Amino acid sequence: MEEYTSVLMLLLLIGSFIPLIEYMITVPVGILLLGQPVVPVVIVSIIGNSLGVAAVVFLGSKVKQARQKRRGQEKRPSKDNKRKERTKYFLNKYGMPGVGILGSILVSSHLSAATAVALGVSKGRVLFWTIAGVVIWSVILGIIAVYASHWFEPFFGTTE
C-alpha cells in the first residue's frame, strides 16, 4: 500500500509540473478521485507546480536574452500578441502580485510567469509572486475538495 501511495504522489507531482494541468487538476483529482490525504496532495502539487514555473521562468529568461541579442542584430521592432498586451495591462493595473496570484488561477501559472518574464519583470519577483499564487490557490482548492467530497460520493463511492 505504501508503494501505491508513493506512485500516486509521483504521478501528482508530474501532473502538477505540466502546464495547463497544474495544481488546478492534481489537487482535486488527488483528493476526490484517488482518495489521498489532503496535506500531502497539496504539498506535492505545490512542489511540482513550483518546479515547473521555475523551469519556465529560467528558460523564458534565456529565450528572451537570445531573442534580444538576435533582434539587436537585425534591428526589427518586436511584435506584441494579444496575451502579451493583456498581461501588460494587468501588470500596469495590479502589479506583479496581481498577475502572479490572479494569473495562477485565471490562465495558468506557467503562462502568466512566462509572459511576465517576457515583459521584463525580474525573475525573482515573478517566481515569488507566482509561487505565492500557487500556494494560495492550492490550499483553497484543497479545502474546496475536502468539503465537496460528499457531493461526489453518489458517483464514485466513498474516498476513504
Provide the grid cell at 57: 521562468
CA 27 to chain centre: 12
DSSP 80: P
Cα distance between residue 40 and residue 26, in whole Å = 12
Do 27 and 145 meet the contact criterion of CB atoms below 8 Å apart? yes
Cα distance between residue 4 and residue 10, in whole Å = 10
Taking the model in full, what pTM does it have? Answer: 0.83
pLDDT in tens, the chain (160 residues): 678 889 999 999 999 999 988 999 999 999 988 889 999 999 999 999 999 999 999 998 888 778 778 777 655 555 667 767 877 888 889 899 998 999 889 889 999 898 888 888 999 999 999 999 999 999 999 999 998 888 877 776 665 5
